[in-house]
Structure formats: C-alpha cells, structure tokens
Amino acid sequence: MIFKKLIPSLIILVIAEEVWTHVEIEAEDYFFPLEPVINFCKMADQCQHDFVAICGQDSLGISRMFNDNCDLYEYNCDEKKQYRHVKLDVCKYEAAASERAQYS
C-alpha cells in the first residue's frame, strides 16, 4: 500500500526537478553566460534592415534602443560591444523618451 503512494510521489519529484533545472538554465542564458565571441561585423554585413525597433542590453545590464537587429549588429561591430536583443520592456524608459522626442 505504501509503495502505491511512494512511487507516484517519486516520479512527480523527479519530473519537478527536471523542470526546475530547465528553468534555471534558461534564466542563466538570459544573463549572457560566457560564450564564444560572435562576429557582429559579419552579421551586420549580411543583415537586411527591417526598421522594427528593438531593445538591446549588454552583460552589465546597460540597455538602449536600436532601430532594428541590423543596427544592433552594426553598433556592436563599430563600438566593440556585446549588446543582445532582449524584451522591449527592458528599455521602457528609453522607448518613452524617444516617443516624447518624436512628438515635440
């Protein structure tokens, strides 16, 4: 009787552990772990502008707006930076400032 309750409980714990480990890995990826250097200059050369504004953030947490992904690649290439595309919410203050500047 006790084994009927113990085995399903153990299975649930193992599944929960797997899910939690996966969530932790994704969180680490979001904060830019050490990885090989990306050739942003090559990416910028091959990129076609679509002019969809994006937010970029570097490994120090400094965020800024870019015109599009190609603009981010070009900036990284020219300035030797490592900005990555992140959620637009991260740049909410920069986005609000650019909207105010657009209408003034």
At 8-54, the pLDDT tens digits run: 776 776 665 665 544 444 444 445 555 566 889 999 999 999 999 99
Average pLDDT over residues 3-10: 70
Residue 30 included in any domain:
no
Burial 70-102 (b: 16+ CB within 10 A, else e): bbbbbbbbeeeebbeebeeebbeebeeeeeeee
Residue 73 in any domain: the answer is yes
Q: What is the pTM of this model?
A: 0.58
In whole angstroms, what is the distance from residue 72 CA to residue 24 CA?
27
In a domain, 67, yes or no: yes
**Domains held by the chain: number:** 1
